[in-house]
Chains A and B, each alone.
Chain A
Amino acid sequence: MNLKAKILTAAAALSLVAPAAMAQDDFEAQLKARQGQFRIMALNLGVLGGMAQGKIDYDAERAQTAADTLVAVTEIDQSLHWPEGSDSFAMNGTRAEPSIWDDNADFLAKWEDLGAAAREMQAVAGDGRQAVGAALQNVGGTCKACHDAHRTPDS
């Protein structure tokens, strides 16, 4: 193959790839926003979990603050965080399954379950280590239920 043919072939190959690459939005801002809110929850769950496990001394005020923050995150409007096409099949950097969009009602119901469990935690966070532990099992249950259905495994 001479040089001209090589260039033509490369150009032809590129023309097949380029439109797809250009059309793809990397949704970086949306991924950072939605993943950030899960990290905020993880930090606060760490406080509550540490107390439930006895690794951190129970402190009613600190527990209440963590629970309030958890509730606050579940109340953030989600409509900007999950644009169509920002799923794990379409792009890297996310473990959000297409089922979030294909079965959006189920996803939203599970998000609401998390909100309800967080509010239960908020109601009992001041009642001592054991109450926090019991409420945490419910919160954890809602995390698992959604990750089971709508998050791809870690790679």
Chain B
Amino acid sequence: MRRFLTILIGLAAVLAAAGWVLSAPSRLPAAATEGVTGDAAAGERIFLAGGCASCHAAADAEGAERRVLAGGAPLETDFGTFVAPNISPDPEHGIGDWSFAEFADAMLRGVSPEGRHYYPAFPYTSYTKMEMQDVADLWAFLRTLPEADAESAPSEVAFPYSLRRGIGLWKRLYLRDDFVMAHAGTEALERGRYLVEALAHCGECHTPRDRFGGPDTARWLAGAPNPSGEGRIPDITPAALGWSASDIAWYLESGFTPDYDSAGGSMADVVTNLAALEAADREAIAAYLLALE
């Protein structure tokens, strides 16, 4: 009996140690960010495609206010209420005192400068597929934006999701840098894939989540309950959508559907952002969506 107990305790200790190691936040190697210099002008395009302002600017911000990233509206989910923090260049309340390496850890690994896991409400599950140069350009652009001294509101997360180490295990399941569309045969498809799967993080809302809150890639972009409450985020696979390439590109530019209803809700912000990109980017997104199975 005593022997059995010893083995049991030993086993529990090994499991706990393994869990601790497996759930540890993992930063990028130092070499990954060394010598990469960002271009702020190029970063504006990344900022727009990434839709940073949709969550990090005030909820009703319009025009120039969308560049004040003081923190945004709460996102209510099954796991808790998340509030996008102040990411303006204010050194105290924002991210002005971060290094580029710390910013890259946040974007690509979901790890804070203090070495804690971020909740995946911050869509690093998509951003992890970003090119390092784009991360650097975005960083350079963010540093040109106005400082805001608003205190970031804390997220309210229920047990057991409040145990941040659990996110470490979650990341082992869902933080992947390979694309869902394995083969992108043309340059436009490749660009569309990068926009949809990485920068614009379309799958975060349009793909349903499994029981652990990870994207169910078998039902990629097939529609999901609205994370912010009522209604559903639509299925945008080709058969369900039934739109042509020019319909999709026009919608992303003008906000008008083929029957001239107009975008609303969170998608209104997305269209405002994507409308400011080059036409080729919107056409690439359309090409990608139509190439989905």
Q: B232 near A154 (CB under 8 angstroms)? A: yes
B62: which A residues are within 8 A, CB to CB? 145
Q: How far is the CA of A55 from the CA of B266 in the complex (A)?
A: 28
A46: which B residues are within 8 A, CB to CB? 259-260
A55: which B residues are within 8 A, CB to CB? 246
**Contact status of A45 and B230, CB under 8 A, knowing A144-B268, A145-B62:** no
- A53 at interface (Cβ–Cβ under 8 A)? yes
Q: B265 near A151 (CB under 8 angstroms)? A: yes
Report the minimum CB–CB distance from B137 to chain A (whole Å). 26
Q: A153 near B263 (CB under 8 angstroms)? A: no
Q: How far is the CA of A26 from the CA of B234 in the complex (A)?
A: 28
- B255 at interface (Cβ–Cβ under 8 A)? yes
- A155 at interface (Cβ–Cβ under 8 A)? yes
Partner-contacting stretch, out of A1-9, A73-81, A117-125, A135-143 = A135-143
Q: B264 near A49 (CB under 8 angstroms)? A: no
**Contact status of A154 and B256, CB under 8 A, knowing A144-B264, A144-B268, A145-B62:** no
Q: How far is the CA of A142 from the CA of B200 in the complex (A)?
A: 23
- A72 at interface (Cβ–Cβ under 8 A)? no
For A49, the closest partner residue in chain B by CB is B256
Report the minimum CB–CB distance from B225 to chain A (whole Å). 10
- B114 at interface (Cβ–Cβ under 8 A)? no
Total residue contacts A-B, CB cutoff 8 A: 69
If over half of A's interface residues share one DSSP class (helix, strand or loop), that class is named, otherwise mixed; here it is helix
- A43 at interface (Cβ–Cβ under 8 A)? yes
- B35 at interface (Cβ–Cβ under 8 A)? no
Q: B231 near A154 (CB under 8 angstroms)? A: yes
- A131 at interface (Cβ–Cβ under 8 A)? no
Report the minimum CB–CB distance from B244 to chain A (whole Å). 10
Per the CB 8 Å criterion, the residue count for chain A at the interface is 24
Q: How far is the CA of A151 from the CA of B271 in the complex (A)?
A: 16
**Contact status of A137 and B254, CB under 8 A, knowing A42-B260, A43-B260:** yes
Q: How far is the CA of A53 from the CA of B256 in the complex (A)?
A: 12
Q: Pick the contact of B268: A49, A88, A136, A148 (CB < 8 A).
A: A148
- B86 at interface (Cβ–Cβ under 8 A)? no
Q: A153 near B275 (CB under 8 angstroms)? A: no
Q: Pick the contact of A155: B230, B264, B272, B275 (CB < 8 A).
A: B230
Report the minimum CB–CB distance from A145 to chain B (whole Å). 7
- B79 at interface (Cβ–Cβ under 8 A)? no
- B100 at interface (Cβ–Cβ under 8 A)? no
Report the minimum CB–CB distance from B290 to chain A (whole Å). 17
For B253, the closest partner residue in chain A by CB is A137
Q: Pick the contact of A143: B230, B231, B262, B269 (CB < 8 A).
A: B262
- B122 at interface (Cβ–Cβ under 8 A)? no
Q: B60 near A149 (CB under 8 angstroms)? A: yes
- A69 at interface (Cβ–Cβ under 8 A)? no
**CB-CB nearest 8 A-B residue pairs:** A147-B264, A153-B231, A148-B268, A143-B262, A42-B260, A144-B268, A155-B231, A45-B260
